[in-house]
Structure 1
Amino acid sequence: MDQLEFFEIPSPCIGVCQAGKAGYCTGCYRSREERLHWHQASPYAKRIIVKACNRRKKLAAKSKVSGIEEINQPSQASLFGDE
């Protein structure tokens, strides 16, 4: 059962729309599928996507500090079953 949402979950987009080497947007850290299906996603799915973006952002920051290239980051499977 989905949690009742009183407010719309805003898109994590910050207007920097460029795909990185791992396939995630370098601005919001969403995958292509997550960006394409954002408006059709349930509030539950949006919360999962935002949490995943936050983890990816932390992972990207860690890899930059340690000198690991972005291409070595694990890629996430599609949440929408497209792949």
Structure 2
Amino acid sequence: MEQLEFFNVPSPCVGVCTVDERGYCRGCMRNRDERFNWLNMSPAQQLHVIKLCRQRYLRKLRKGQIDNIDGQEPESPQQDLF
């Protein structure tokens, strides 16, 4: 049974719409299908995509594929959603 959501899940798009070598948006970390089908997803599916995006961002951070300034963890452009 799916939990009812009372508020819309905001799109994780931050306006940085370029794709990396694996096909993920560099701004929001969604893949092509997730970007194109966002409006057709249920709130539960949208929240799951945001969870996947966070995992992808953290994986890239651990691999050193995201610039690290002054030894501090770089701030994600979509930090409010995480």
**TM-score, length of structure 1 as denominator length:** 0.75
Structure 2 CA distance for aligned equivalents of residues 22 and 49 of structure 1: 16
Q: Secondary structure at 1:64's aligned position in 2?
A: coil
Q: Secondary structure at 1:29's aligned position in 2?
A: coil
Q: Match for residue 56 of structure 1?
A: 56
Q: Secondary structure at 1:3's aligned position in 2?
A: coil
Opposite residue 62 of structure 2, the aligned amino acid is: K
Q: Match for residue 6 of structure 2?
A: 6
Work out the number of aligned pairs and report it: 65
Q: How do 1:1-83 residues align onto structure 2 when only pairs under 5 Å count?
A: 1-64=1-64
TM-aligned CA deviation for residue 50 of structure 1: 0.3
Structure 2 CA distance for aligned equivalents of residues 19 and 64 of structure 1: 18
TM-aligned CA deviation for residue 64 of structure 1: 1.2
Seq. identity, %: 43
Q: Match for residue 69 of structure 1?
A: none
TM-aligned CA deviation for residue 23 of structure 1: 0.7
**Where do 4+ consecutive residues of structure 1 move more than 2 Å?**
none
**TM-score, length of structure 2 as denominator length:** 0.76
RMSD (CA atoms):
0.9
- Runs of 5+ unmatched residues, structure 1: 66-83
TM-aligned CA deviation for residue 2 of structure 1: 1.1
Q: Match for residue 70 of structure 2?
A: none
